[in-house]
């Protein structure tokens, strides 16, 4: 089994509505479908499937849109969304129109920007998971219709965790709703040491009230600075929520290897992942075809950058592709971003280097290969982090892109050799 990432512990493995001209584009923010971002390979658009669910018809149509109006490359994100890459100013209108026909557009760019909800991917399928589907719909409606909430920071997010087979323990969010099977609802805040009790029929009002405390500041921030300043207990008291005790301590987070391949419980499932989260449209079409023949009705996107096919699939169906169905695949031990030349900020070919590193290390340790100091693919610490700087790499041990390197200005081969030698001596 390859080394896995644990987001909590270092060293633990585990426009306006449409934009049509280049002058209207911005670089370096969180893109949407209605606010695309200019990147190294063209315009980048983010597709946010509602509840993380794509019907097979939607997935097939997205693949064709990508091939016709983009460059055929899609990325799976850590928020259970899709990035469509390589659009141009000339193809953008047709692409956005296509999204609209598929029901994948929001009413406005501002509404789109704040609709950041990560929910249990098996909601409505897994009998051991609370069905949070109605709560997702209600919260999405409030976020769309309440203009005051459109002032929230673009990365502000909610988690709706129904538990079950794939709980969302390691998925970060400003506000977390955890649904117990006995009908209880616990509310947590990022950075908070305590949680509170809430009522399921008031989840939308609770979400809006907590967001309102941030919006009342002169400059709205994420939740963590408010928690650091006031404490979670005081925040819950302000919105009238009774304390439920201390927040849960570190729990074992789901890893991609836990999801891949067939699952033969109450509901048959099959997990498939593109290498380094980069999915070609042709591979998506193949996934749709296999899923259709397996009797699946949809694809479930997950925050672990794995697609779940809701049907019984023969693992041999993916033989001969670069897609990952084997939980022991060493590529799972490497997390990386698009890198150069696809990203303006990236100075190294991260995906090429990640593939070489996976072959060299064989999954012996987890590595984050970042094309720049933003660390988009994995903001948390990792056993080893490579940060692209001017075509070379800085190397960080047991830390994130924000930490002090143990070596600077290494070629890829030098960095790979350093990691390989130290993994041999550390045994990790």
Show the tokens assigned to 112.
């789109």
Residue 9, pLDDT > 50, answer no
Q: Lowest mean pLDDT: which of 7-11, 229-233, 390-394?
A: 7-11
Show the tokens assigned to 110.
């501002």
In this prediction, residue 10 carries a pLDDT of 34
Residue 299, pLDDT > 80, answer yes
pTM: 0.91
86 vs 16, 69, 74, 319, CA distance in Å? 21, 8, 9, 28
Residue 18, pLDDT > 50, answer no
Domain ranges of the chain: 22-105, 130-163+172-246, 330-426
Whole-angstrom distance, CA of residue 376 vs CA of residue 382: 13
CATH number attached to the domain at 330-426: 3.30.413.10
pLDDT tens for each residue of 166-186? 999 989 999 999 999 999 999
Specify the pairing of strand 82-87 against strand 37-39: unpaired
Residue 428, pLDDT > 70, answer no
Residue 19, pLDDT > 50, answer no
In this prediction, residue 212 carries a pLDDT of 98
**Domain 22-105: CATH class, spelled out:** alpha beta
Runs of H (alpha helix) within 146-272: 203-215, 223-230, 232-238, 256-259
Whole-angstrom distance, CA of residue 398 vs CA of residue 28: 27
In this prediction, residue 54 carries a pLDDT of 98
Domains 22-105 and 330-426 share a fold: no
Bridge partner residues of 44 (DSSP): 37
In this prediction, residue 3 carries a pLDDT of 75
With H, G, I as helix, E, B as strand and everything else as coil, classify residue 227: helix
In this prediction, residue 223 carries a pLDDT of 97
Specify the pairing of strand 334-336 against strand 367-370: parallel
Residue 86, pLDDT > 80, answer yes
Bridge partner residues of 176 (DSSP): 159, 188
pLDDT tens for each residue of 121-172? 999 999 999 999 999 999 999 999 999 999 999 899 999 999 999 999 989 9
In this prediction, residue 251 carries a pLDDT of 77
Mean per-residue pLDDT of the chain? 92
- What torsion do the CA atoms of 249, 250, 252, 255 make, to the nearest 10 degrees? 130
pLDDT band, very low/low/confident/very high, at 2 (cuts 50, 70, 90)? confident
pLDDT tens for each residue of 33-43? 999 999 999 99
In this prediction, residue 424 carries a pLDDT of 62
In this prediction, residue 17 carries a pLDDT of 32
pLDDT tens for each residue of 306-316? 999 998 889 89
Residue 110, pLDDT > 60, answer yes
In this prediction, residue 81 carries a pLDDT of 98
Across 63-84, average pLDDT: 98
pLDDT band, very low/low/confident/very high, at 6 (cuts 50, 70, 90)? low
């Amino acid at each position: 089994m390859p080394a896995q990432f644990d987001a909590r512990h270092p060293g633990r493995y585990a426009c306006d509505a449409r934009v049509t001209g280049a002058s209207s584009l911005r670089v370096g923010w969180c893109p949407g479908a209605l606010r695309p971002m200019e990147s190294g390979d063209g315009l980048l658009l983010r597709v946010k499937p509602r509840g993380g669910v794509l019907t097979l018809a939607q997935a097939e149509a997205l693949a064709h849109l990508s091939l016709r109006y983009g460059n055929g490359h899609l990325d799976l994100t850590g928020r259970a969304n899709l990035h469509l890459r390589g659009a141009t100013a000339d193809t953008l209108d047709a692409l956005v129109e296509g999204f609209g026909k598929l029901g994948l557009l929001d009413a406005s760019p501002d509404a789109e920007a704040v609709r950041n909800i990560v929910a249990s991917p098996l909601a409505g399928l897994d009998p051991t998971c609370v069905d949070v589907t109605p709560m997702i719909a209600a919260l999405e409606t409030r976020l769309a219709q309440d203009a005051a909430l459109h002032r929230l920071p673009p990365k502000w997010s909610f988690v709706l965790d129904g538990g079950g087979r794939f709980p969302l323990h390691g998925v970060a969010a400003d506000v977390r709703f955890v649904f117990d099977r006995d009908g209880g609802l616990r509310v947590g805040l990022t950075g908070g040491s305590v949680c509170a009790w809430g009522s399921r029929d008031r989840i939308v009002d609770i979400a809006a009230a907590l967001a309102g405390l941030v919006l009342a500041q002169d400059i709205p921030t994420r939740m963590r600075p408010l928690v650091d300043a006031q404490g979670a207990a005081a925040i819950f008291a302000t919105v009238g929520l009774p304390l439920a005790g201390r927040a849960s301590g570190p729990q074992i987070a789901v890893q991609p290897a836990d999801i891949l391949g067939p699952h033969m419980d109450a509901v048959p499932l099959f997990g498939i992942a593109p290498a380094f989260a980069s999915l070609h449209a042709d591979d998506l079409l193949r996934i749709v075809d296999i899923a259709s023949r397996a009797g699946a009705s949809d694809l479930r996107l997950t925050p672990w950058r794995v697609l779940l096919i809701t049907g019984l699939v023969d693992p041999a169906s993916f033989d001969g592709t670069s897609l990952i169905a084997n939980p022991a695949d060493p590529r799972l031990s490497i997390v990386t971003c698009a890198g150069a030349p696809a990203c303006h900020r990236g100075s190294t070919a991260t995906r090429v280097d990640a593939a070489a590193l996976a072959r060299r290390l064989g999954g012996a340790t987890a590595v984050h290969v970042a094309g720049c100091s933003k660390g988009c693919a994995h903001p948390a610490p990792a056993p080893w982090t490579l940060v692209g700087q001017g075509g070379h790499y800085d190397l960080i041990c047991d830390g994130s892109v924000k930490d002090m390197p143990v070596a600077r200005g290494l070629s890829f081969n030098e960095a790979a050799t350093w990691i390989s030698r130290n993994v041999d001596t550390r045994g990790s």
